Structure 1
């Protein structure tokens, strides 16, 4: 149960479920807001034309009393309340004022009472608004719209078509004169329109187009035979059904969740394999490896895990090897110190005691050097050292090592092939100095008479090289010389010098420099040739040019 509790994938799935719920709630709110705004726009569009026609007819009445009488007559026919409302009774918004000034209507709908109040201006009536209260919409009221349009057209004899075009600006649906023969009517409907000039028909059309169900109102036109006034088609408002919308949203989110699940499932399995491998490593099985598949991030994670396991395994093996080698290396100087102490207690000769004390001091100094070498090797082998790459004048560094080793070269000759003074490379100064110093020390130890030091840049890689004229190193032993405590002469006396750690330290320095170290045969001197190469440009933050490089 705890594994599920802390599973990142379980949190992802739970987050997706919460997202679905949130989207469903937002979808409901959005649908309600959209539906409300769509319904309000629909009401205003349907009311604009009717309100404009009524206000025009009212404005043409000669007296205020005749206006009142006309409104009363229409109210009885339409079964609607039509009257005047003082302007100061209405608190209008900016949008409502703009609509009224444009000759449009405003609609205030009370959803709880299912009543709509329509207001519009009447020319010549600056103090009142024409008001219509609509609580229902019947067939009579719909047909009455065509009758009102015809009454308005009666004031424009001979210019009915032009007037109709003016009225079209206020109607959200088409209004036009059409030939009766062009109408898709049955014989009974055509006969009724021809015989009764006051006849008005209402047609329903159910279409699969975006308009859906529509209504058309057809009224006989007495002035022109075989021609009728057609209003529509008027689309019936369709509420955006929330159940359908929500169903689509939920189904889409379900598909999204399933898609995310099947996309994450392989990732979860790969992480599970890495977790199982980690558990095996924790139990001590360092031979555990993860199968790397593909080139994605999980493949990189598996590759990193394998590299980490190999590194841990190598560190443990190196630690065991180091422990065995250190115990062997420490025995000789410790035994000599013990022997010297016994000699001190067994002799009263002052000169002999001084000689033994000097030998003991040399053995202690050798122990200190051995410990320093071991600490340096362990630091480079077991973790990332603190490297501070800087620009180094390679010629100055090589010359400095040559000058330092001049006191121990004895009768041997050191030649050099140094780069130009302005050639700079990026390196950790003290570690690069250690590499060259080790190369030169080994060359002096095993050469016959000649050592050559060189360095430079080739193909964006810097290099330092030290050659000698000694016996060289057999090809089969060239990898072995870079192992810790490896000495090919198998001598572990003070006369041989060194502890077998120098070249191993050089190998690790080359690794942390991002380069490599190699040994082969010198084509010029015939002995061994040690070369270390590394990138001229390092990715680590650089420091200013080393001031001590002389």
Structure 2
């Protein structure tokens, strides 16, 4: 029993596949952006903090150990409004190798304490082994920004006359420019200039169209009149920079394009295969087929196309063979009719004329039978015939065929039997009668004394068999006998009559019933045994059989 799976929709494959790909890419892109932004934010915080805490660590290193250093730390903490302390227990801090490398390079290590909304910042004290400055910060304020300027000025005080060189040495630790410039070149507002003259630290904010264009500068009065220390501009952190967004979009678009190619290309390849097969058939190559596998609509189209091509090829081949065979078969009765008419023309005796008329009538009757066989075969061969399936009682049908065959006056005895209790099946009664009639008539020409008709139902399939005790059919010829106008050269010869179409008609009827016809040797009678089988209930057929 053939099981047909529902076809996979091409639109579901394309749109569903693209939807899955786009959703997956969007989720991955979002996660990647989040990871990148978190990493960028961590780098931004460390870069912004490194210069500030490097200045503090330098101030600590300049203080002698003991009460003086503790007092300096306390004063620095008050200036920052944060607690500062020195730690020496490295194992307890559990620094990683990367963190140790950062500390050795003079950079800070920043550890976020998310539950307490705070951060612990560590920096190595220059010149001292395994001594680290620790600060716990919960927020960044204007006071801390001003404190940074104070610490930088305190450091520059140690390098009087070499301020520019010192700023250049400190610049690698800062993520923003450090410079000493004239007050007039800074571009401050009048109130800001007045505060500078009062030795106050000024924070100047520049607002732009976005975070990338917004910045702050810390401006403090320098030790020289008319000069100011400028720290900045310090640009605010941009969570979604345009460049990064463009890169992610470009990569995502590339992934979607590649995925779409792998989703659509197989379908396009199948369509091109079908198109090539169509071109070959149009050019006259009837053997061309579209070799496409799958369950989508294109595969189903290719399957239907191949079935159509096979059917067309078979019809054309059959038409050619039928034309050749018909022309050959018609010659004999036509020749006999012509010969009989010539004989009538040459004979004047009434009795001889009547005898010739009887022969002519027999020849015309034979010609009518041949034409009827040809038309029946052509009707079954030209396409799907109109079949009106109905419930047929196999027992009654066998009895009818047995009676009709016996009425032909054959020397063989015709018997029939039904092997199943329930022998009612679905079939086209007219064509099933034709099958049994042809098989029984064929057996009658070769049987010596006995013909047996049998019917039964088993495992959802109906079966009818016709056996005889004649010479049988050689195994090498059992496939060939179902071809139109085929007659064997052994004991089943032309002398036995027939046109070689009866078994071809039986084969086509079995095909359109969704079944098959087989031939073998009868175990009961020893001669030929023909058996036709088809589905007991036609609605159980999943599809029409392939030619």
TM-score of the pair, normalised by structure 2: 0.52
Q: Is the 8 A contact 2:390 2:429 kept in 1?
A: yes
Match of 1:362 in 2: 362
Q: Structure 1, residues 44-72: CA drift from partner, whole Å, max 9, x if none?
A: xxxxxxxxxxxxxxxxxxxxxxxxxxxxx
Other-structure match for 2:449: 449
Q: CA deviation at 1:516?
A: 1.0
Cα deviation, residue 349, structure 1: 1.6
Per-residue deviation, 1:377: 1.0
Q: How far off its partner does 1:467 sit?
A: 0.8
SS of equivalent residue, structure 1 residue 530: strand
Q: Secondary structure at the match of 2:498?
A: coil
Q: Separation in 2 of the partners of 1:398 and 1:391? A: 15
Structure 1 residues 264-413: aligned runs within 5 Å: 264-293=264-293, 296-413=296-413
**In structure 1, distance between residues paired with 2:140 and 2:328:** 116
Contact 2:340/2:360 (<8 A) preserved: yes
Indicate the residue corresponding to 2:526 in structure 1: 526
Deviation, structure 1 residue 314: 2.6
Match of 2:471 in 1: 471
Corresponding residue of 1:163: none
Unaligned runs of 5+ in 2: 1-10, 19-136, 145-204, 206-213, 215-237, 542-547
Contact 1:393–1:421 (CA under 8 A) maintained in structure 2: no
Q: Give 1:65's aligned residue.
A: none
Q: Is the 8 A contact 1:409 1:444 kept in 2?
A: no
- Aligned-partner Cα distance in 2 for 1:490–1:396: 35
- Secondary structure of the structure 2 residue equivalent to 1:384: coil
1:441-489 deviations in Å (ceiling 9; x for gaps): 1111100001111101122211001111111111111112111111114
1: distance between equivalents of 2:490 and 2:462?
33
SS in 2 for 1:358: helix
1:308 Cα offset (Å): 3.3
- TM-score, scaled to structure 1: 0.52
Aligned twin of 1:94: none
Q: Which runs of 5+ in 1 are unaligned?
A: 1-11, 20-181, 190-203, 205-212, 214-237, 542-550
1:235-274 maps to which residues of 2 (within 5 A)?
Answer: 259-274=259-274
Deviation at 1:390, TM superposition (A): 1.3
Cα distance change of structure 1 residues 241 and 484 upon mapping to structure 2, 3 Å threshold: same
Match of 1:505 in 2: 505
On the 8 A contact 2:487/2:494 being kept in 1, the answer is no
Question: Does the Cα contact within 8 Å between 1:443 and 1:466 map onto a contact in 2?
Answer: yes
Query: The residue matched to 2:538 in structure 1 has which SS?
Result: coil
Distance 1:186 1:332, change over 3 A: closer
Q: CA deviation at 1:431?
A: 0.9
Helix, strand or coil at the partner of 1:487 = coil
RMSD, matched Cα? 4.6
Cα distance in 1 between the residues matched to 2:246 and 2:285: 54
Aligned to 2:435: 435
Preserved contact between residue 462 and residue 535 of structure 1 (Cα < 8 Å): yes
Give the secondary structure class of the aligned counterpart of 1:408: coil
Q: More displaced, 331-340 or 297-306?
A: 297-306
How far does residue 406 in structure 1 lie from its aligned partner after superposition? 1.8
Residue equivalent to 1:123 = none
CA distance in 2: counterparts of 1:183 and 1:469, whole angstroms: 109
Distance across 2 between alignment mates of 1:382 and 1:187: 96
Say if 1:425 and 1:536, in contact at 8 Å, map to a contact too: yes
The residue matched to 1:345 in structure 2 has which SS?
Answer: helix
CA distance in structure 1 between the partners assigned to 2:454 and 2:414 by the alignment: 11
Correspondence for 1:461: 461
Residues 521 and 528 in structure 1, CA contact (< 8 A), matched pair in contact too: yes
Cα deviation for residue 505 of structure 1 reads: 0.7
Report the alpha carbon displacement of residue 369 of structure 1 after superposing the two structures with TM: 1.1
Tell me the secondary structure at the aligned position of residue 391 of structure 1: strand
C-alpha distance in structure 2 between counterparts of 1:336 and 1:472, whole Å? 31
State whether residues 487 and 493 of structure 2, in contact with CA within 8 Å, keep that contact through their aligned partners in structure 1: no
Correspondences of 1:35-46 after superposition (within 5 Å): none
- Structure 1 position 435, deviation (Å): 0.7
Would you say the 8 A contact 1:413–1:451 is kept in 2? yes
1:434 Cα offset (Å): 0.7
2:138, 2:243 → 1: CA distance?
38
- The answer to whether the 8 A contact 2:420-2:457 is kept is no
The aligned counterpart of 1:67 is: none
1:121 counterpart residue number:
none
Report the counterpart of residue 198 of structure 2 in structure 1: none
How many residues were matched structurally?
336
Query: CA separation in 1, counterparts of 2:257 and 2:342?
Result: 83
For residues 45-194 of structure 1, what are the structure 2 equivalents within 5 Å?
none
User: Are 1:510 and 1:516, in contact at CA under 8 Å, matched by a contact in 2?
Assistant: yes
- How far apart are 1:245 and its partner, in Å? 10
- Return the alpha-carbon distance in structure 2 between the equivalents of residues 510 and 497 of structure 1: 23
Residue 356 of structure 1, CA deviation? 1.5
